[in-house]
Amino acid sequence: MIIPSIGVSNYVDLLVAQEVLSKVEKFAPVTADSGSETWFDGSGTFLCGDAATWNQVWNTHIRNESIGNARLGNLNPAPPVDFKKNVVVALFAGPTRGIVGYRVLNGFVLGKEAFLRIAPVMSNAPVAQVAVPRPWAFLVLPRTKANVSIQMPQGRGWNTVMKVPPSL
């Protein structure tokens, strides 16, 4: 079978690539959450391997603050995470026009390296919007012996935005 839009050699390359990819071990987050608004000031990436670090990042994100006996901001506690099995990767992009969050594209393991590829979710709103989004993502990843590279598309390739060391 030849696909009309590509030549025979490209079709063979495609079949070979599909065969190789079918044998690659998958790597995926346990859960992933993303949005366009955060109280985190600026941009940054964080690895949370314990509840204390996760609570600190979460409280900054939703602005859980105390002044004396008064609480300010959102009173939601951090979502529960089993840190014996998982770690949390937190990504904050800072003020970024047009991006309202991130979505997971795919993940795979090659040898001792794991790759998790995410992509920005673009807004349909006009560019001259009043509020500039501050996109973020929380990825709960299984602990692994592999180095994990969190990657985003850049041009025709992939840019590593964070490297997570082995967590087992």
Instruction: Report which of residues 136 and 124 the model is more confident about.
Output: 136
- Tell me what pLDDT residue 9 has: 59
Q: What angle do CA 51, 53, 57 make, to 5 degrees?
A: 115
pLDDT over 50 at 2, yes or no: no
127, with CB counted inside 10 A (0-12, 13-18, 19+), is: exposed
Give pLDDT, residue 133.
87
Distance CA 7, CA 12 (A): 9
For 58-75, the pLDDT digits (tens) are 999 988 665 555 555 556
Single out the residue of 32, 79, 37 nearest to residue 55, CA to CA: 79
Higher pLDDT, 138 or 13: 138
Two tokens at 54? 């996760």
pLDDT at 148 over 50: yes
pLDDT confidence bin for 19, thresholds 50/70/90: confident
Domain ranges for the chain = 25-164
pTM: 0.81
